[in-house]
Chain A
């Protein structure tokens, strides 16, 4: 047994981040790493040697022949998916849902009124203010468009709906009704009336059908007419007796009942059903069973809409007609439905509902294709699109055993979870096909395998993965190229179970994400040491900003946490109009500064002693860091020769490779790579095309390519108040796989918020995991091919990215195309393999494999659409487009993407044509996200945006992982002054309240409340003028609103329940990302108020459409 003890923790943020290598035994170092020993082989880094010292003569990097040829695996746990949230498949456990046994009437408890309550948000004024400023005009003139929102329920019923075909289980239900079916008629209703609902797919008894057009007026069988608050429809707490006690998702119950009653289902089918329905996009919070609507639709289609009770609400996507029932609304709902009505229904995950649903789902999805994801939503009538909590990725409809081991969507995600069979089908669907990856994400649990042979397909070099098939014990069939390969002898032994002859139980075959310690065949040269070079701007401007002090302090604090081993090297270069090198050679009493003023033809004064071993020269380095800020205190040099400094740094790093961190505060204006200011401040708000989005010179790009060739990555920190031409400078990071940080208006005194952010970012930057000399190859099943890559890297061949450094915060996107038809395949797979050198000098391969089903119908494609991934991919494509073509082109392209896909949906999938803007439920957020993109800093027009800010936003959209960029695109808004423990999550014995997501519209703000907007890198806490003093004192620790400080990095730790709840919630949000978002308090007169208000995406601004106007625009275009 070789090394069995690899630490699988390559955890997040903490100082121990880098511990995912084998522990190093210093004793095994055979030679003292010298300053110039970058290339020397150091046996110490052979993972195998740590445990099993090899004979001296052995080539150090050769894997030790494993003793019994058995790979060792670290203790791998039962959960195959690493670090992610719990899998989305509904729990299978048969929950004690009352459904089947109960009389049908009871089987459906009143649906929670959470989402519904929109009707009640505006109890008195019925005009829903879609757009904050224009709401008032709606009533009179624009009747045609606005009717749906204003009139009574009856008005909203679309004519087509009124022709229910009793027997047809119409696969696509007409807009409004679907939701209502399983609706609780309330206790008073005779059980028979429910009967119609509970027979999905079967011919419902005619008696149950109501002509829909009549339902507003008379609804005999379904309980009280809408006029007047019907006693039967009580607010949930007092609702149906049995089921209310344990509030399971009501509809689920209804269905379960239905399924059991009407369909002879067998258990196995049920299980399949769980995953048959890729509905997770609705993300209806934990209890979103995704599945039940599927059934409902079937039932709903033909039948009439249920009684317009508000209870229905529960689903955010409820047609507004029902929500805004005038009669029911006001009396039933308290004015703050979020807190009072909603929480009770926030079902903890694993509620009984979903599990029970699965059976019926399975049956349904086999018979028709109307899963929840395809439920038709009329966007124009839909008021509450957002799910209760964060939107989650849809689950591909794979057989359960495959889905269980599939790759975590946070790591590997596809825009279409069902892959179309052919390119023509994809073209018909008009949706982008692509993958979004976060390959180097910090994972809490990662199986690491050490094996002398890594089993790969002999023809396509695919790594063995869970989706291969074993023909027999000795042969496996590659799932990418379908070649049959032999199973090597040593693969027959399973180190986990210590048994022989079970190759399919090996960790490689049980985990979609796995890491291998690579043997020497995977090295072109001995693994490089961790090398960090810091290139610092010390011109007058830089000293003014005061960043140098912060940087030196941060580095001093974290110098021991820098990932690396005993070979780690560091170096420093500073520059203004000349380049300064620092000789830190061991033995010097103090650092020696060497100035090179010949910036045209740069050379290294003492090549050997500029990069020094950190461990040996730590004191000198610390000395330097302490003295550096003072050294340039008085400098009057204003010029900046960045280009030459970069060249010098490149020369310094090129023998070893490594990471170059460049800190720049002004436009480089001297020597090579000098740039000119291209920004015209008067054009910032121009609605016309934005110029200068492409680089002014290719100097930085060429240098970046040189760096990439020498395994050097350049990370750029831009701290400036003026224009720096990020469009040109950014190329240096973009093509060398670095990252870009931008701190506009950085100043140590005037802008403490930026200083705070810089500090936190720097800490994360210095201590995060890092992989050197990496390449990533993405393979896919034969027939698919990679079209374009997005992110920071250099594309070395059609499927290979060269990444001199890879960091855990980098995301990638890939556009795919289908070159050959995939007719004969059930599933396709994608494999991303990232080969890198860890900071401990080990060569490692991290492999992620994703498996997706192939479908042949358009409706299935739509059902599998992942709206967030699509948005992320479109954003990347739009960035490319705005650089190569123009910004307005990119904006048009994004709008057209929505128009095309929705009109394709309308034409090809919808069988019943009806008015309105129809979208499948899984795409219902698509227009909203695209509108958000259009208003995002990167793409907005008409609002004053600095060119650098815009470029930075574009870079972020391209290289941030989807989870973070989605917050940038569409921030999350929560009300935080009334957090309760109801529906809270429990993580590590901490109770984390879960307020619901609010729409980004000013109408949601309330002067009495406090709202938290989470925009990814920054959070805004909006405090209403009349905010409850309780919140101010208990949470913020201030007596009144005016004394709230402007910047809160940490909420004060007060010993009150409110404070604890709020801190728990904010802390939980922060824990979800590796960087540290600071909190800005927004009060009425705040400077930052415009920033906050710009994120109110659904509202109208001077230059941009409101959400509702945007929908109307889309509708107009689609119906053309």
Chain B
């Protein structure tokens, strides 16, 4: 059983998706705390946004734990991985989400530090509703992805096991896989598309 780079990518993505689920749930809780008047928006936004002081204070490893930016970076990271592994289809399915993240970050409020959330506007009912709905959708879909990724992983490894397939042949194999197992790609697909529309 050849443990290829692609298979590695999928496994990594699996782990990272679990991390993303954690982020999503965390955001949902944070927004809910805001709604129920439990926390001050300044504090809450400071937790959600990586503020400069925090970056200085907290050691590098820990920063990754609490932020929006890491979330985007994780996604970007496994897009790059899939690119390197030449998993074009998976990459293609992830591109919309990547584009959404880029757009979202470009259109963030004017801020001098990294981050997405502005404490002065976050209490606006519309904005808060959109944000928390987006996170809910994410939290609902990511587990699906989580389940489907190993499947995709297996198929990928299995196919590689069978043959010394070159690029095009592998692509063919992949399409076959799609046909036999439509749920896999579908699940993959849902995540970016849904998040974008939300």
Q: Which residues of A contact B110 (CB under 8 A)?
A: 694-698, 701
CA separation between A694 and B120, bound complex, in Å?
Answer: 14
Q: How many residues of A contact B (CB 8 A)?
A: 24
Partner of B37, one of A697, A788, A800: A800
Q: Which residues of A contact B112 (CB under 8 A)?
A: 697-699, 702
Contacting pair A795 B120 (CB below 8 A):
yes
Closest 6 CB pairs of A and B: A795-B123, A797-B37, A787-B125, A698-B110, A698-B111, A788-B124
- Does A484 sit at the interface, judged by CB under 8 A? no
Q: Taking CB as reference atom, which chain B residue is nearest A699?
A: B112
Interface residues of B in 93-130 (CB under 8 A from A): 109-112, 119-120, 123-126
CA separation between A699 and B126, bound complex, in Å?
Answer: 25
Say whether, besides A786-B125, A788-B126, A798-B35, A705 and B120 are in contact (CB < 8 Å): yes
Q: Give the interface centre of B119, B120, B126 by most chain A CB atoms within 10 Å.
A: B120
Contact with B along A784-806 (1 / 0, CB 8 A): 01111100001111111000000
Contact with B along A682-726 (1 / 0, CB 8 A): 000000000000111111011001000100000000000000000
Q: Which residues of B contact A787 (CB under 8 A)?
A: 124-126
Say whether, besides A698-B109, A709-B42, A794 and B125 are in contact (CB < 8 Å): no
Shortest distance between the CB of A933 and any CB in chain B (Å) = 22
The secondary structure that dominates the A interface is mixed
Residues of chain B at the chain A interface (Cβ within 8 Å): 34-35, 37, 40-42, 109-112, 119-120, 123-126
Q: Which residues of A contact B37 (CB under 8 A)?
A: 797-800
Contacting pair B120 A788 (CB below 8 A):
no
Q: Which residues of B contact A786 (CB under 8 A)?
A: 125
Shortest distance between the CB of B146 and any CB in chain A (Å) = 33
Shortest distance between the CB of A1013 and any CB in chain B (Å) = 37
- Does A339 sit at the interface, judged by CB under 8 A? no
Q: Which residues of B contact A697 (CB under 8 A)?
A: 110, 112
Q: Which residues of B contact A758 (CB under 8 A)?
A: none
Shortest distance between the CB of A654 and any CB in chain B (Å) = 15
A-B contacts, 9 listed (Cβ < 8 Å):
A695-B110, A697-B110, A698-B112, A701-B120, A786-B125, A789-B123, A795-B124, A798-B37, A817-B125
Q: Which residues of B contact A698 (CB under 8 A)?
A: 109-112
Q: Taking CB as reference atom, which chain A residue is nearest B109?
A: A698
Shortest distance between the CB of B133 and any CB in chain A (Å) = 15
Shortest distance between the CB of A100 and any CB in chain B (Å) = 53
Contacting pair B125 A797 (CB below 8 A):
no
Q: Which residues of B contact A794 (CB under 8 A)?
A: 119-120
Q: Taking CB as reference atom, which chain A residue is nearest B129?
A: A787
- Does A547 sit at the interface, judged by CB under 8 A? no
CA separation between A796 and B34, bound complex, in Å?
Answer: 9
Contact with B along A761-796 (1 / 0, CB 8 A): 000000000000000000000000111110000111
Contacting pair B111 A796 (CB below 8 A):
no
Q: Which residues of B contact A735 (CB under 8 A)?
A: 120
Q: Which residues of A contact B126 (CB under 8 A)?
A: 787-788
CA separation between A785 and B37, bound complex, in Å?
Answer: 13
CA separation between A907 and B125, bound complex, in Å?
Answer: 30
Q: Give the interface centre of A709, A787, A795, A799 by most chain B CB atoms within 10 Å.
A: A795
Q: Which residues of A contact B111 (CB under 8 A)?
A: 698
Q: Which residues of B contact A696 (CB under 8 A)?
A: 110
CA separation between A786 and B37, bound complex, in Å?
Answer: 13
Shortest distance between the CB of A780 and any CB in chain B (Å) = 13
Shortest distance between the CB of B181 and any CB in chain A (Å) = 44
Q: Which residues of A contact B123 (CB under 8 A)?
A: 789, 795-798
Shortest distance between the CB of B45 and any CB in chain A (Å) = 10
Shortest distance between the CB of A732 and any CB in chain B (Å) = 12
Q: Taking CB as reference atom, which chain A residue is nearest B123?
A: A795
CA separation between A817 and B112, bound complex, in Å?
Answer: 33
Shortest distance between the CB of A734 and any CB in chain B (Å) = 8
Q: Taking CB as reference atom, which chain B residue is nearest A819?
A: B125
Q: Which residues of A contact B34 (CB under 8 A)?
A: 797-798
Shortest distance between the CB of A817 and any CB in chain B (Å) = 7
Q: Give the interface centre of B40, B123, B126 by most chain A CB atoms within 10 Å.
A: B123
Shortest distance between the CB of B96 and any CB in chain A (Å) = 24
Say whether, besides A735-B120, A786-B125, A788-B125, A795 and B109 are in contact (CB < 8 Å): no
Q: Give the interface centre of B37, B42, B112 by most chain A CB atoms within 10 Å.
A: B42
Partner of B119, one of A694, A705, A788: A705
Q: Which residues of A contact B120 (CB under 8 A)?
A: 701, 705, 735, 794-795
Shortest distance between the CB of B51 and any CB in chain A (Å) = 10
Q: Which residues of A contact B40 (CB under 8 A)?
A: 796-797
Q: Which residues of B contact A817 (CB under 8 A)?
A: 125
Partner of A796, one of B35, B41, B125: B41
Shortest distance between the CB of A893 and any CB in chain B (Å) = 14
Shortest distance between the CB of A868 and any CB in chain B (Å) = 24
CA separation between A348 and B150, bound complex, in Å?
Answer: 84
Shortest distance between the CB of A1005 and any CB in chain B (Å) = 44
Shortest distance between the CB of B3 and any CB in chain A (Å) = 48
CA separation between A605 and B109, bound complex, in Å?
Answer: 36
Q: Which residues of A contact B119 (CB under 8 A)?
A: 705, 794
Q: A795-B120, A795-B124 are in contact. List 17 more A-B contacts (CB 8 A).
A: A694-B110, A698-B109, A698-B111, A702-B112, A705-B119, A705-B120, A735-B120, A785-B125, A787-B124, A787-B126, A789-B123, A796-B41, A797-B37, A798-B34, A798-B35, A798-B123, A800-B37
CA separation between A701 and B112, bound complex, in Å?
Answer: 10
Contacting pair A795 B125 (CB below 8 A):
no
CA separation between A650 and B42, bound complex, in Å?
Answer: 18
CA separation between A873 and B45, bound complex, in Å?
Answer: 28
Q: Taking CB as reference atom, which chain A residue is nearest B43?
A: A709
Q: Taking CB as reference atom, which chain A residue is nearest B39?
A: A797
CA separation between A800 and B34, bound complex, in Å?
Answer: 12
Interface residues of A in 830-860 (CB under 8 A from B): none
Shortest distance between the CB of A331 and any CB in chain B (Å) = 60
Contact with B along A608-630 (1 / 0, CB 8 A): 00000000000000000000000
Q: Which residues of B contact A797 (CB under 8 A)?
A: 34, 37, 40-41, 123
Shortest distance between the CB of B56 and any CB in chain A (Å) = 15
Interface residues of A in 652-702 (CB under 8 A from B): 694-699, 701-702
Q: Taking CB as reference atom, which chain B residue is nearest A797?
A: B37
Q: Taking CB as reference atom, which chain B residue is nearest A816?
A: B125
Q: Taking CB as reference atom, which chain B residue is nearest A696?
A: B110
Shortest distance between the CB of B127 and any CB in chain A (Å) = 9
Q: Which residues of B contact A701 (CB under 8 A)?
A: 110, 120
Shortest distance between the CB of A894 and any CB in chain B (Å) = 18
CA separation between A695 and B112, bound complex, in Å?
Answer: 12
Q: Which residues of B contact A799 (CB under 8 A)?
A: 37
CA separation between A798 and B41, bound complex, in Å?
Answer: 10
